[in-house]
Amino acid sequence: MQYRRLGRSGLQVSELSLGSWVTYHNQVDSQGATEMLAAAYDAGINFFDNAEVYAMGRSEILMGQAFKALKWPRLNYIVSTKFFWGIDREGNTVNRRDTLNRKYLMQAIDGSLARLQLDFVDLVYCHRPDPQTPIEETVQAMSDMISQGKALYWGTSEWSADAIRSAYEIADRHHLHKPVMEQPQYNLLHRGKVEQEYAQLYEDIGLGLTTWSPLASGLLTGKYQHGIPDDSRGALASMAYLHDTLTDPAKNKAVAGLAQIAAELGGNVAQLAIAWVNKNPRVSTVILGASKLAQLQDNLGALALTPKLTPEVMARIDALTLPLLD
């Protein structure tokens, strides 16, 4: 496992990391979460990603239970959470969901820390942009979170380049803590933000990336070439909106071609897809998701493929995937 700086910060994150979206509580129980975190940590992973909204807070609870059971030195691991949607879906939720206003944010961080059983999180994200709240208010609240010792670095997820730049400039102008990282979707079939929209931000503000969905919600594993398996993530009711994409004939034909390239390199298509994301030097860490320990262990095999992605191999991959970009 190699470690990379998170943007221009001094924080070193493992090139592969482990997330909990969809899996924790929905597919993984407390014992499974503990086993996977332990295996990831033993493999050199030091960053574990979460969010308040994942399983309506239950994902954070499971991760917190695992941390307590594993008893790792707090200096040795990095934890994140993210805020925007909130978890209270009943009653008067005007100040608790779909917002980045100060009231919500300052209460949300306390809730996450309680569920994670931590004194602070290392990374905290604005999970989506909020056009209804002045960006100055959000920047001040996120900076205050850090000043209060409840988080160490803050960033954004799926924000536009213009919004990220605006937040950075507001923080710089008012001597506040600046956003350090962005968490965008990035994979072989979804590249726009990382490769084009954010291109200038890497040099101008030193933006770091903690990317999600390297396997395009499982499409790049090859498991959906013949429909939706009953035991797959795609079979979950919450993932029904992805069925047309996961079973798209053209995309699955490309996946078959990628599998051939992966086999030539001594791996499988999932490992190839993760290695491809990892190959990008702008990516600080690639967030993996796994519902079984065997999946996590298999995905870690991407590390062996990364150095095998020569310019010639990358060109073959592009020939298969560029015509299909989202």
Per-residue pLDDT tens digits for 142-187? 999 999 999 999 999 999 999 999 999 999 999 999 999 999 999 9
Classify residue 159 as exposed, middle or buried by CB count within 10 Å of its CB (0-12, 13-18, 19+).
Answer: buried
pLDDT at 21: 78
Coarse DSSP helix, strand, coil percentages of the chain, rounded to the nearest 5 percent: 50, 15, 35
H-type helices in 43-193, by residue range? 58-70, 102-116, 135-147, 161-173, 192
Q: And the tokens for 64?
A: 């917190």
Please give the mean pLDDT across all residues of the chain: 92
Q: What is the pLDDT of residues 77-119, one digit of tens each?
A: 999 999 999 887 555 555 546 899 999 999 999 999 999 999 9
pLDDT band at 249 (very low <50, low <70, confident <90, very high): confident
Asked if pLDDT for residue 234 goes beyond 70, the answer is no
Model pTM score: 0.91
Under CATH, domain 3-324 is a member of which superfamily? NADP-dependent oxidoreductase domain (3.20.20.100)
**152 membership: H or E segment, kind and range:** strand 151-156
Please confirm, yes or no, whether 54 is among the known catalytic residues. yes
Catalytic annotation, pick one of 3, 41, 54, 186 = 54
For the chain, what's the residue count? 326
Q: What is the pLDDT of residues 285-326, one digit of tens each?
A: 999 998 889 999 999 999 999 999 999 999 999 999 999 997
Q: Which of 206, 205, 80 is nearest to 154 (CA)?
A: 80
